[in-house]
Structure formats: structure tokens, C-alpha cells
Amino acid sequence: MIKRCTECKSYTLKDEHCSKKTVSPHPPKFSLEKEKKYGKYRRKGKL
């Protein structure tokens, strides 16, 4: 899975970059919020 370096903002497949731990570019928290938003819109559309 692709990761992102928070230091130089570049994408990498390594666990570390610039002597720092890389992070997932799409954290699960973000997708959960997105899902909530879409759920709201879906409800609105039904009404």
C-alpha cells in the first residue's frame, strides 16, 4: 500500500522517509466522515 511522507509530502512505498515514519494518504477517519456526509444527502434526497 502506498504511503506518504509528512516531511517532503512525497509518495513512497517505504515505511520511513526523511528519517520519519510515513502515513497513509487516506486515513480511515476521513472516509468515515465522507460516508456520513453522503448518508445525510441520501436521506435528504428520499424526502
Q: Quick one: 3 or 5, whose CB is closer to Zn ion?
A: 5
**By the rule CB under 5 A, 4 interacts with Zn ion:** no
9 to 38, contacts with Zn ion by CB under 5 A? 17-18
The H or E element spanning position 37 is: helix 28-46
Q: Quick one: 8 or 23, whose CB is closer to Zn ion?
A: 8
Q: Quick one: 1 or 47, whose CB is closer to Zn ion?
A: 1
* Cα→Cα distances 30→3, 16, 25, 39, Å: 15, 22, 10, 14
